[in-house]
Amino acid sequence: MKLSCVIPSYHDKYNKNTVQSLLDNSELGDQLEIIVVQDGYWMPTDWIVNDPRVRYVHLGKNRGMRGAINAGVALARGEFIMRSDEHIMYAPGFDKAMTDACQPNWIMTAVRYFLDPEKWERMEIEPFIYEKLKIRGNEDGTDQKFEGQRWKSRDRDRKDIMIDETMATQGSMWVMPRKWWKEVIGELQTEGYGPHFQDSHEMIFKTWKAGGKLMLNKNTWFAHKHYSFSRTHQEGTKDNPAKADEAYAYCLKTWKDYYLNEVCPTWFR
């Protein structure tokens, strides 16, 4: 098995479209497996895609997004693992482009467009290419959270470099070697972060600390549901509701000094 794609799922009717897009645009054939993790709910039968490459897993209890991803990765058999939200359209050959390029110590993402899920069409909106990792501030001058921001100067200056290092990613789609996940990420931590937020930042900081890189592959793309359309995967669980401010504060407490003292001097000489 070359690639295992894990989709954390919670009551999203576009899951079927996403799975079909993955299958229709794959160039890996039977070397691709898709693991849909039903996070404490049963998916309607008409959302199911009947294909031997797709497995549907039901969690007996609602664990939240981080727990659903951890559960799916634990079942993965591929040399590489991939995370996908359940409302994404993929470019033709995305899976081969990503796995052919990804190195042993990389997390890799692609150019991110916006998706109109009702029409299932890529929207004519400028995509995200490079992203700069910044700390967003509150109005009172205090720090709020880590976030990725458009990095247009890097888009222009490095437009001809097709596989290049970047600082941040939304986290809705990434690929990495399963060995890197096992040895460096381990699993997405719920203590402190809670069940939902800041997962991409946690992985990126752990990867940098271990000598790895976050890479952007401009040879392929994905289109993620535009924020004007409603969300379905709830932010947390019934027993452990996600508390965004607490998760943001924990991530800052854990990584702010490393970001300021080691990451920024490397990136912004």
Please report, to the nearest 10 degrees, the dihedral formed by the alpha carbons of residues 97, 133, 131, 3 taken in order.
20
The total number of structural domains in the chain stands at 1
Consecutive H or E run containing 133: strand 131-137
Share of the chain above pLDDT 70, in %: 96
Residue 46 burial by Cβ neighbours in a 10 Å radius (0-12, 13-18, 19+): exposed
Q: What is the CATH number of the domain that holds 206?
A: 3.90.550.10
pLDDT of amino acid 238:
59
Query: Could you list the residue range(s) of the whole structural domain that residue 23 is in?
Result: 3-267
Q: Is a pLDDT exceeding 70 seen at residue 240?
A: no
N- to C-terminal Cα separation, the chain: 42
The band of 106, judged by pLDDT with boundaries at 50, 70 and 90, is very high
Is the model's pTM score more than 0.85?
A: yes
State yes or no: pLDDT of 69 exceeds 90: yes
Q: How high is the pLDDT of residue 231?
A: 72
Q: What is the mean pLDDT of the chain?
A: 95
